[in-house]
Amino acid sequence: MALQNPVKARLLLKMNSSKNAAELARNLHDQPQRWLRLADSELLLYSQPPEIQRQGDSNLELRFTLPENSARLLLERIAKTDAGAALTAH
């Protein structure tokens, strides 16, 4: 996530197979509101449908602009997580 105005996001996804990557890309294209939303919130993570690119056989790259209120809530949630404890627990 780049903290500029507008807030831009880039999400890299590594899938198990090219079939899974193609299926997720299709689902993201057809129903981005189902996949790109903040949990426990009505806020979407995008203001326009994401740009989806295939990277190799089984990787996807998503690029999208985050609405300001979604970006603020996402940063608040990230700030509340204890990354150190999560890393040592695994």
- Write the pLDDT tens digit of every residue in 55-66: 888 999 999 999
| Residue 1 domain flag | no
Indicate the number of domains in the chain: 1
In whole angstroms, give the CA distance from residue 67 to residue 81.
Answer: 22
Has residue 82 been placed in a domain? yes
The set of residues, in sequence order, having a beta carbon less than 8 Å from that of 28 and lying 6+ positions away, is 35, 36, 50, 52, 60, 62
The answer to whether position 73 is within a domain reads yes
d(CA 70, CA 43): 6
User: pLDDT for 25-51, tens place per residue?
Assistant: 999 999 999 999 999 999 999 999 999
Residue 20 sits in which domain range? 7-89
In a domain, 50, yes or no: yes
| 2 assigned to some structural domain | no
Q: Which of the two residues, 85 and 70, has the higher pLDDT score?
A: 70
| Residue 26 domain flag | yes
- 33 inside domain: yes
